[in-house]
């Protein structure tokens, strides 16, 4: 009976509370702005008599169909629909929302696959906590500080020769099927446990590809700190146009809280094509390669929002890895040159290297990081100094050696060392290296540890060396991982253990 009375009291209190809240509501008529669809074709609608319209304003055609006002005319707007407009007819009412396109931003976007306008597409319910406009000005000069903290990708060739810092924009460029997405995905996988929020923005990709990438993230525990923003190839050009800006906005919100963010835009070539499609349908004048005149601004305003913020602004950072697909290895085409000039360096992937088994297929001659060694750990600086030169010398000698069979000892030694260095830089997909592993491999190269190992045994030797060091000197590796530096005693210990390993490995051959 007492329990029944308690429940009854609770219900009464709840009912009273609900009644009080409803009573506080003041019902009033609403006045909304609206226009009329005068023309609809190819997912572009002309809306007339829409007062107070703004550029980039979100328009509601129905409960499920939205559009963006991108063309302002004297008595109407040209609006690009975000959803298929099969049910939109001439004469339909269009309501202006009074605000620009926005997307969901909050901590609960982590681990989710969302559309650019903040709806869930991973089949689970999603309630956005806040919205933020997708177009915002980039941080000014005073709010920034120089890039000086490494962003580990876990890919040895990049961390040693093309180092990326937090807040940098590093372009990944190459032909189709050269491993561009793999590099970006591996960089995300390597952020596990490093307190970096990752956002993967898929633009114009196949839904099956995005599902595979999501599965890779799930399998490797990366999904808990990653958000995927997806505008697939089946989505409208307007959705594909919005996707990178939505991803950037989500990243900016985390950056404002002082956190480090890594955003991957995969890929901006498809983004430019979607923007071209929209612009041509809006009858904007075409320029070079039929792209509109502001295609540079399309990418520059996106990438300028990635920054390393000053400590007075929270000290957060947003690192961008935009991806561009070239055709026939031509990096001097229109969109590639635009984005190369915007970013702080590029990682150039070659089909020839990929097909010859060098993966990641990075052309270290054409790749560069304009931030450079400022974004490297002290330990890495000690072991990576002459790598580019060594590789360049090896490539030159390798071409030269094809023409003759009589080579002197020096040349043979250089060739052998170059082959082993190339083998060191080969890396399995989805297996990023820890900093200590990278230092071990480069120190082994620097100290000529691999000299007694035949070139064709390198692929077995490398994991064996890493395993040996983890077993025999875990303390030294931990010092490197935690401090990012390696003093003389640690270096000496490492070299002597590696020599022991080399003798044992060579003896067992």
Partner 1 sequence: MSRAILQVAPGTSEETVAGICASFRDLLQQEVVFTVKEKPELIGGFIAEVDGKVYDNSLSGKMQALKKWMLGDM
**Listed ranges 22-30, 268-276, 413-421, 475-483: which one lies at the site for partner 1 (CB under 8 A):** 22-30
3-class secondary structure, 172:
strand
Report DSSP letters for 395-444, one per residue. Answer: HHHHHHHTT-S---HHHHHHHHHHHHHHHHH---TT-PPPHHHHHHHHHH
**If you search the block for the tokens 């032909």, which residue do you land on?**
175
Residue 21 within binding range of partner 1, rule CB under 8 A: yes
Q: Binders of partner 1: how many residues, by CB under 8 A?
A: 17
Instruction: Compute the least distance from the CB of residue 66 to partner 1, in Å.
Output: 17
**Least distance between partner 1 and beta carbon 253 (Å):** 20
Positions in 310-349 near partner 1 (CB under 8 A): none
Tell me which of 16, 130, 288, 370 is the catalytic residue.
370
- Which span sits near partner 1 by CB under 8 A: 21-29, 262-270, 311-319, 420-428? 21-29
* CA 205 centroid distance within chain: 14
Nearer to partner 1, 93 or 452 (CB): 93
Is residue 370 annotated as a catalytic residue, yes or no?
yes
Q: Least distance (Å) from partner 1 to the CB of residue 65?
A: 17
Contact region for partner 1 (CB under 8 A) — 19-27, 133-141, 187-195, 218-226? 19-27
What separation, in Å, do the N-terminal and C-terminal C-alpha atoms of the chain show?
Answer: 84
Closest distance to partner 1 from the beta carbon of 227 (Å): 24
> Given the complex with partner 1, which of 50 and 439 has the nearer CB atom?
50
Minimum distance, C-beta of residue 52 to partner 1, in the bound complex (Å): 9
Considering only residues 411 through 470, tell me which ones interact with partner 1, judged by CB under 8 A: none
Site for partner 1 in 95-124 (CB under 8 A): 95
**Minimum Å distance from CB 359 to partner 1?**
51
Footprint of partner 1 on 123-142 (CB under 8 A): none
Q: Which is nearer to partner 1, 32 or 478 (CB)?
A: 32
Q: Is 72 in the site for partner 1 (CB under 8 A)?
A: no
Name residue, tokens 């082959």.
Answer: 419
| C-beta of 34 vs 434, nearer to partner 1 | 34
Question: What count of residues does the chain have?
Answer: 509
295: nearest Cα among 327, 261, 324: 324
Q: Taking CB under 8 A as the criterion, which residues in 360-399 touch partner 1?
A: none
Could you give the CA distance from residue 509 to residue 503 in angstroms, rounded to a whole number?
10
How many Å apart are CA 323 and CA 264, to the nearest integer? 8
Angle at 244 between CA 337 and CA 429, to 5 degrees: 80
Q: Are strands 317-325 and 171-174 parallel, antiparallel or unpaired?
A: parallel
**Of 50 and 415, CB closest to partner 1:** 50
DSSP reduced 3-state for 151: coil
Helix (H, G, I), strand (E, B) or coil at 56: coil
Residues 24-63 that bind partner 1 (CB under 8 A): 25, 27-35, 49-51
Residues whose CB is less than 8 angstroms from the CB of residue 100 and which lie 6 or more positions away in sequence, other chains included? 54, 56, 57, 58, 133, 134, 135
Query: Which of residues 63 and 456 has its CB atom nearest to partner 1 in the complex?
Result: 63
Name residues whose C-beta falls within 8 Å of residue 134's C-beta, 6 or more positions apart in sequence.
Answer: 100, 101, 102, 103, 116, 242, 245, 246, 248, 249
**What residues from 179 to 238 belong to the interface with partner 1 (CB under 8 A)?**
none
Q: In this complex, which beta carbon is closest to partner 1, that of residue 77 or of residue 423?
A: 77
Shortest Å, Cβ 125 to partner 1: 14
Assess contact for 116 and 231: CB atoms under 8 A. yes
Nearer to partner 1, 26 or 409 (CB): 26
Burial of 48 by CB count in 10 Å (0-12 exposed, 13-18 middle, 19+ buried)? middle
- Measured from the CB atom, the residue of 30 and 488 that comes closer to partner 1 is 30
Least distance in angstroms from the C-beta of 48 to partner 1: 9
Binding segment for partner 1 (CB under 8 A), chosen from 17-25, 78-86, 162-170, 284-292, is: 17-25
Q: For the CA atoms of 360, 274, 234, 349, what is the dihedral angle to 10 degrees?
A: -10
- Give burial (CB, 10 Å; 0-12/13-18/19+) of 314: middle
- Residue 341 CB, shortest distance to partner 1, in Å, is 44
Structure token digits, residue 97: 């929302």
Least Cβ distance, residue 50 to partner 1 (angstroms): 6
- Choose between 35 and 204: whose C-beta lies nearer to partner 1: 35
Q: Hey, which bits of 297-340 come out as E strands?
A: 317-325
- The dihedrals phi and psi of 74, each to the nearest 5 degrees, come to -60, -45
* Alpha-carbon span 251 to 198, nearest angstrom: 8
Is position 93 an interface residue for partner 1 (rule: CB under 8 A)?
yes
Binding interface with partner 1 (CB under 8 A): 21-22, 25, 27-35, 49-51, 93, 95
Residues annotated as part of the active site: 370
């Amino acid at each position: 009976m007492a329990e029944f009375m308690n429940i009854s009291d609770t219900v009464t209190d709840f009912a009273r509370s609900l009644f009080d809240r409803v009573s506080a509501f003041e019902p009033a008529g609403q006045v909304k702005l609206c226009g009329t669809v005068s023309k609809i074709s190819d997912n572009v609608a002309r809306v007339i008599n829409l007062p107070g319209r703004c550029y980039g304003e979100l328009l509601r055609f129905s409960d499920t169909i939205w559009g963006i006002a991108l063309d302002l005319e004297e008595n109407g707007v040209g609006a690009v629909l975000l959803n298929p407009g099969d049910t939109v007819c001439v004469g339909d009412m269009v309501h202006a929302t009074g605000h620009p396109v926005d997307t969901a931003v909050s901590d609960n976007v982590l681990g989710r696959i969302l559309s650019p306008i903040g709806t869930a597409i991973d089949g689970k319910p999603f309630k956005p906590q806040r919205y933020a406009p997708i177009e915002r000005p980039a941080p000014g000069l005073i709010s920034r500080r120089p890039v000086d903290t490494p962003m580990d990708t876990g890919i040895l060739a990049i961390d040693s020769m093309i180092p990326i810092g937090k807040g940098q924009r590093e372009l990944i460029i190459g032909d189709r099927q050269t491993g561009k997405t793999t590099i970006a995905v591996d960089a995300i996988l390597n952020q596990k446990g490093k307190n970096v929020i990752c956002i993967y923005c898929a633009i114009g990709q196949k839904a099956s590809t995005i599902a595979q990438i999501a599965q890779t993230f799930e399998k490797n525990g990366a999904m808990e700190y990653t958000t995927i923003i997806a505008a697939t190839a089946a989505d409208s050009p307007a959705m594909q146009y919005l996707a990178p800006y939505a991803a950037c906005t989500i990243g900016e919100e985390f950056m404002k809280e002082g956190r480090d963010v890594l955003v991957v835009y995969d890929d901006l070539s498809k983004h430019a094509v979607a923007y071209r499609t929209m612009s041509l349908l809006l009858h904007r004048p075409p320029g070079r390669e039929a792209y509109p005149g502001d295609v540079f601004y399309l990418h520059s305003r996106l990438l300028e929002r990635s920054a390393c913020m000053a400590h007075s602004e929270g000290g957060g950072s947003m690192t961008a890895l935009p991806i561009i697909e070239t055709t026939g290895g031509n990096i001097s085409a229109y969109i590639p040159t635009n984005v190369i000039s915007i970013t702080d360096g590029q990682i150039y992937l070659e089909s020839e290297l990929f097909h010859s088994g060098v993966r990641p297929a990075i052309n270290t001659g054409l790749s560069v990081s304009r931030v450079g060694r400022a974004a490297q750990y002290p330990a890495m600086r000690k072991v990576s100094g002459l790598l580019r030169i060594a590789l360049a010398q090896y490539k030159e000698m390798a071409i030269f050696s094809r023409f003759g069979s009589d080579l002197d000892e020096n040349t043979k030694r250089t060739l052998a060392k170059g082959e082993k260095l190339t083998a060191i830089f080969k890396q399995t997909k989805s297996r990023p290296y820890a900093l200590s592993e990278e230092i071990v491999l480069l120190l082994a190269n620097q100290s000529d540890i691999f000299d007694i190992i035949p070139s064709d045994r390198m692929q077995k030797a490398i994991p064996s060396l890493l395993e040996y060091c983890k077993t025999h000197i875990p303390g030294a590796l931990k010092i490197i991982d935690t401090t990012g530096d390696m003093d003389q005693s640690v270096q000496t210990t490492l070299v002597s253990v590696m020599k022991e390993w080399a003798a044992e490995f060579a003896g067992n051959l």
